[in-house]
Chains A and B, each alone.
Chain A
């Protein structure tokens, strides 16, 4: 059974009096433990697809199954649970809370879940993302790469089976971006399913599979499979 299975996903947005079609019948299957890069030109529909895969948005039509759970047609309250329990999100802009320490930012999802605020679990994640020495620091005291590691740690704290990252290295220099991909590779080795949107083809090729989105469709001709 695929970890994510999308069939005929379409998404149309209303902009003023005009309908804009962001996705036009995307079919996609991502297997458990797979590391997938999604690439494509600006406006191709990469972020629209990521938002639907992460249950942040709903498709206009089509069906989506995540970890065996049919999510299309579900109400927002049920989608909250899926986001909380199955999916971790990493954004380009980090979205760290400036008055919380690194440790508290990583633990933030726990206060929205029924799970206890477990500091030993947070410490383990700090270690996984290489930030144990920064636990008590505020985001303003961190470099861009460290901030993105905190965001990755925050995405991992609820033990998701899928990690979605939308342009996670978009605000980082190439050395730091490489470091972030090293973290992703490590997570992949540990069995996490990763889907990463990027503009950087070099980094994209470090994933097991590269999916190209063009004009709202998966460009089959551009499929790239590493040996």
Chain B
């Protein structure tokens, strides 16, 4: 037997109270871990999505706010357009390696919105090295053909060769290829040749946005400045888009962190209350231990060991619960933040796990310090007489 086993046995005296305290710590740590994990995961996934976009700038119609630009990236349809002339001017801007035009439209099928991208395959495919197609890609001049994302193909049970009625006039379109999963929003879209999409939606000569890849990232500010001179064009860099999205989720994040703080304060009060009650009940016993040779530091160590056991167990359970329930947490978070990139936010990050455990134990030590020091300083006489207060 040693101090640690004595601490464990002490905690077994009031099992319900100990378990409730552990549960309180577990809830606080689960919230802390899930939200920190979400926060890190969100930024990671967002940056990953921006990197996967394959371009550095987006030329959008003037007056299109950043918020609307972020929607374009997820297939949002805006009512303003650029023209083929704007595309031509963009392509001749010094430093521009690729300028890929996009026309975004939406069709409703079986009550659900479907996003349609009209693209120039010769310009877009070099921007998307991750795109691998099952079947083939269309060429720019083809009509009534499309490539679709993998999630969409699975949902609609479509494969290369399938023919579907599509567009306002329900024309027959042949699926010539299905993209392999990209873990991005592309998995949900229909891709059509740009000219065919312009014809289908009666938007001849119109473009929603132009994705621009610079020959060198150092040229991005110069390209942006040059493109801003075009009367119709507003330039949005991907850094601006990321910043805008982070601002959008900022308020949601503030709310989530408020929840963390409240959970931690409640948990800390619970731990302190448990320890104070426990010490108060055992004051005479502490006196006995001092009488048989325990020093003040033995008593303090014993109580701190008890609190560390509670908080370490609570921390482990909380992290396990957060990982096990990450699906529910993500669904909840996705429901309240305005822009959620694809991919999992909550993941097993050893640094975060260690950090949350250390926080949990640190919280326990902090909460246990007052009862531990007070008990350690009690004189054996006071303790034997039960004079805690």
Contact = CB atoms under 8 A, between A and B. Distances in A.
A91 interface: yes
A154 B384 contact: no
A199 B379 CA distance: 26
Nearest to B292: A109
B289 interface: yes
B293 A80 contact: yes
Interface in B271-305: 284-285, 287-296, 298
A56 interface: yes
B292 A155 contact: yes
Given A56-B291, A80-B295, A155-B292, A91 B384 contact: yes
Contacts of A99: 9-10, 12-13
A97 interface: yes
Contacts of B290: 56, 80, 83
Given A51-B381, A95-B288, A117-B2, A84 B9 contact: no
A88 B333 CA distance: 62
Nearest to A87: B291
Contacts of B380: 56-57, 83
B160 to A, nearest CB: 70
A100 B289 CA distance: 14
B12 A95 contact: no
A104 interface: yes
Contacts of B288: 89, 91, 95
A193 interface: no
B31 to A, nearest CB: 32
Contacts of A110: 1
Interface in A26-66: 51, 54, 56-57
B285 A97 contact: yes
A158 interface: yes
A107 interface: yes
Contact of B1 (A57, A107, A158): A107
B6 interface: yes
A80 B295 CA distance: 6
A98 B9 CA distance: 9
Contact-size category for B: 20 to 34
Interface in A106-145: 107-113, 117
Contact of A83 (B12, B284, B291): B291
B24 to A, nearest CB: 22
Contacts of B324: none
B315 to A, nearest CB: 24
B68 interface: no
B337 interface: no
B13 A95 contact: no
B285 A95 contact: yes
A77 B376 CA distance: 12
A76 interface: yes
A154 B284 CA distance: 16
Contact of B292 (A93, A98, A100, A112): A112
Contacts of A117: 1-2
B3, B12, B292 interface centre (most CB from chain A within 10 Å): B292
B284 A80 contact: no
Contacts of B284: 93, 95
A76 B9 CA distance: 28
Contacts of A111: 1-3, 6
Contacts of B12: 99
B290 to A, nearest CB: 7
A158 B381 contact: no
A98 B13 CA distance: 8
B294 A57 contact: no
A56 B381 contact: yes
Contacts of B289: 108, 112
A80 B294 contact: yes
B296 A83 contact: no
B292 A84 contact: yes
Nearest to B3: A111
B382 to A, nearest CB: 10
A222 to B, nearest CB: 27
A112 B298 contact: yes
A108 B9 contact: no
Nearest to A82: B293
Interface in A174-191: none
A83 B294 CA distance: 9
B379 A57 contact: yes
Interface string A134-167: 0000000000000000000011001000000000
Contacts of B298: 112
A77 B96 CA distance: 79
B293 A113 contact: yes
Most buried by A among B285, B293, B379: B293
Nearest to A113: B293
Nearest to B286: A95
A108 B292 contact: yes
B334 to A, nearest CB: 47
Contact of B9 (A80, A89, A91, A97): A97
Interface of A: 51, 54, 56-57, 76-77, 80, 83-85, 88-89, 91, 93, 95, 97-100, 104, 107-113, 117, 154-155, 158
23 contacts: A56-B290, A56-B380, A56-B381, A80-B290, A80-B293, A80-B294, A80-B295, A83-B290, A83-B291, A83-B292, A89-B288, A91-B288, A95-B284, A97-B6, A98-B13, A100-B6, A111-B1, A112-B289, A112-B293, A112-B295, A113-B293, A117-B2, A158-B292
Closest 5 pairs between A and B when the two form their complex, measured CB to CB: A84-B293, A95-B288, A99-B9, A112-B294, A56-B380
